[in-house]
Amino acid sequence: MHPKESLTDNIMPDDSLYARGLCFSCTRCSACCRFEPGYVFLSRTDADILASFLNMEYTGFIRTYCRWINGYEGKARLSLKEKANYDCIFWKNGCTVYPGRPRQCRTFPFWPEILLSGETWGNAGLSCPGIGKGKRYDRSYIELQLKEQQADPVIEKTI
């Protein structure tokens, strides 16, 4: 899939990975928040919510908790910082900003790159014990998550 394409650009066929829904139940293992390098990209909405949650000015929040990640097509994306051990900057015996957590965290594992195929869904399940277990989310819920991600893009700047 081209980076600018989206799973929601076209209606998914009835035989798509999530046509009949997918099961997921967060086990609160924190594997997605800790131990490995990664990026939590922020939209303007995410940054505004987190700044407000932390009772900070927007620019102070960005300076304190964010970094720019060089990406494709000459652009950098805004991401939360990580601790030296790769834990999320907001992880301390659990998520310290859970009510204001970024959309990327709220919508996991219903991300376009995970929903590409059974293989990508299964690979995500290797590191997340909640994938494929628990509550079944129907197609309309999953597509809503994808559309919300698409409607509120991450903050980018030209490098």
**pLDDT tens track, the chain, 159 positions:** 344 444 444 445 556 789 899 999 999 888 889 888 889 999 999 999 999 999 999 999 999 999 999 988 899 999 999 999 999 999 999 999 999 999 999 999 999 999 999 999 999 989 899 999 999 999 999 999 999 999 999 999 998
Reference 37, options 11, 69, 64, 73; nearest CA is 69
From residue 157, give the alpha-carbon distance in Å to each of 39, 42, 71, 74: 16, 12, 10, 9
Angle 23-29-33 (CA atoms, 0-180°, nearest 5)?
100
Question: Which pTM was predicted?
Answer: 0.82
